[in-house]
């Protein structure tokens, strides 16, 4: 995975749009590729047909997902959508946007809480519960897992090794990521990358929600 390791970063801040351009950066290849997209204002990725779903996670700005049959969904920062397969899907923006795109295979196991073509927020998929950690598998297969977790204040995960590379999307509140013996405060809107077998922990300073994208290839 082509990303910073062991430090807090921001997908939005590190991939600012360039006027008049659309930019893509693949950070992980394969059937479940992961890529960052930066779209300048008034740019458009024309509608095309794909044999796989795309999970789009908007980091900054806003986009319109559209089709040739009148389909249109508007998304802003913090919102997501899983696109349909076998129908034209395009993306355009009036103000500019930065987002993460994850390819999902047809046979990937997707949680019933997520439906193709519907806008949702990752942070709203799981509730907080007193003294507990709540997690939900959003989508997974034998090579990838995308999980959303809600930590009540003071809860956390003790040190353990990552079985693959992973990116954290901090969604709400504040937490501390322990990585290879060093603590890294993280808050909503920020990101963190674990290397494979990296020793890490998570602790919620306040109530804290995050998504974890784990690749096992």
Q: What is the pLDDT along the chain (217 residues), one digit of tens a residue?
A: 667 788 899 999 999 999 999 999 999 999 999 999 999 999 999 999 999 999 999 999 999 999 988 899 999 999 999 999 999 999 999 999 999 999 999 999 999 999 999 999 999 999 999 999 999 999 999 999 999 999 999 999 999 988 899 999 999 999 999 998 899 999 999 999 999 999 999 999 999 999 999 998 6
**Contacts with 40 (C-beta within 8 Å, 6 or more apart), sequence order:** 17, 18, 19, 20, 21, 22, 93, 96
Q: Is the pTM of this model over 0.75?
A: yes
Which long-range contacts (C-beta less than 8 Å, at least 24 apart) are formed by 74-80? 74/119, 75/119, 77/12, 78/121, 78/122, 78/123, 78/171, 79/119, 79/120, 79/121, 80/55, 80/56, 80/119, 80/120, 80/121, 80/122
Instruction: Please name every residue paired with 138 in a beta bridge, in sequence order, or none if there are none.
Output: none
């Amino acid at each position: 995975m082509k990303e910073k390791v062991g430090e807090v970063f921001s997908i939005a801040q590190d991939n600012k749009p360039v006027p008049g351009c659309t930019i893509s950066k693949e950070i992980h290849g394969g059937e479940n590729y992961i890529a960052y997209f930066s779209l300048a204002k008034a740019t458009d990725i024309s509608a095309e047909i794909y044999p796989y779903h795309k999970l789009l996670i908007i980091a900054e700005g806003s986009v319109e997902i559209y089709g040739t049959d009148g389909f249109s969904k508007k998304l802003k920062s913090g919102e997501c959508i899983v696109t349909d397969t076998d129908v034209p899907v395009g993306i355009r923006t009036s103000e500019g946007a930065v987002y993460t795109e994850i390819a999902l295979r047809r046979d990937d196991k997707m949680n019933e809480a997520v439906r193709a073509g519907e806008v949702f927020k990752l942070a709203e998929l799981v509730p907080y519960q007193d003294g507990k950690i709540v997690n939900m598998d959003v989508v997974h297969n034998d090579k990838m897992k995308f999980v959303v977790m809600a930590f009540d204040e003071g809860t956390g995960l003790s040190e353990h090794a990552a079985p693959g590379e992973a990116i954290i999307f901090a969604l709400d509140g504040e937490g501390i990521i322990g990585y290879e013996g060093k603590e890294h405060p993280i808050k909503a809107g920020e990101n963190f990358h674990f290397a494979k077998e990296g020793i890490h922990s998570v602790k919620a300073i306040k109530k804290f929600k995050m998504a974890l994208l784990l690749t096992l290839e």
